[in-house]
């Protein structure tokens, strides 16, 4: 059986990664999206085990020490990590897996798994990104400033990714993502063989 591929969807916060991943899975239900662990407090609509595994800092540390994370990073003052076992099991069973994680985590995974593909999702312009970060409404001024600074640094990493998707329109950007995933999972046959 062929192994599955690991697609890492990453890029600055506010670029709309979450919306694109939801739309992608609606159109490609065979993809499996990893559920991350985090020490962040759940938002009202979020459910444990569905949106994230919500852990205390001590529980998170315990899992780091036990080597259970494929990658982990601190993002905007909270810790986030991808649980290794669930991802590796699905890939070995031939499933294509999606991670939606921050750039620090994305480059950690690439170091260990050379078959992984890094996809950078960006807003059409820096002004759009700033508008989206400011209008999310969930954060206070300090948190918005931190997110804007992090986003500016993360925009500079674009050239190190395997594929770039501009999120100017959700459907168009999702189609771009789907075409890229198909081109990796089912490369065209070599007619000369």
Name the residue nearer to ligand 5GP (CB basis): 36 or 174: 36
User: What's the CA gap between 191 and 70, in Å, rounded?
Assistant: 38
CB nearest ligand 5GP: which residue? Answer: 105
**Other residues' Cβ atoms within 10 Å of the Cβ of residue 91:** 19
Q: How far is the CB of 144 from ligand 5GP (least distance, A)?
A: 13
Which parts of this chain interact with ligand 5GP (CB under 6 A)?
A: 13, 17, 36, 40, 71, 73, 75, 80-82, 100-102, 104-105
| Inter-residue contact 144 to 133 (CB < 8 Å) | yes
Q: How far is the CB of 187 from ligand 5GP (least distance, A)?
A: 28
Name the residue nearer to ligand 5GP (CB basis): 40 or 84: 40
User: What's the CA gap between 110 and 59, in Å, rounded?
Assistant: 26
User: What's the CA gap between 98 and 90, in Å, rounded?
Assistant: 11
User: What's the CA gap between 80 and 105, in Å, rounded?
Assistant: 9
Name the residue nearer to ligand 5GP (CB basis): 77 or 187: 77
Name the residue nearer to ligand 5GP (CB basis): 49 or 187: 49
């Amino acid at each position: 059986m062929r192994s599955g591929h690991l697609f890492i969807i990453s890029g600055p916060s506010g670029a709309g990664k979450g919306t694109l991943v939801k739309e992608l899975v609606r159109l490609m239900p065979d993809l499996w999206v990893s559920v991350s662990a985090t020490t962040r407090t759940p938002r009202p609509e979020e459910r444990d085990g569905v949106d994230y595994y919500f852990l205390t800092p001590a529980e998170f540390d315990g899992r780091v020490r036990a080597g259970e994370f494929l990658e982990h990073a601190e993002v905007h003052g909270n810790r986030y990590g991808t649980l290794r076992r669930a991802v590796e099991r699905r890939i070995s069973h031939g499933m294509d897996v999606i991670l939606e994680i921050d750039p620090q985590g994305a480059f950690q995974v690439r170091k260990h798994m050379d078959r992984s593909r890094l996809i950078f999702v960006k807003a059409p312009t820096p002004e759009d990104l700033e508008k989206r970060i400011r209008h999310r409404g969930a954060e206070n001024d300090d948190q918005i400033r931190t997110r804007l600074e992090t986003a500016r640094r993360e925009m500079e990493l674009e050239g190190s990714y395997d594929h770039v998707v501009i999120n100017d329109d959700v459907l168009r950007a999702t189609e771009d993502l789907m075409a890229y995933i198909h081109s990796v999972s089912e490369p065209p046959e070599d007619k000369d063989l």
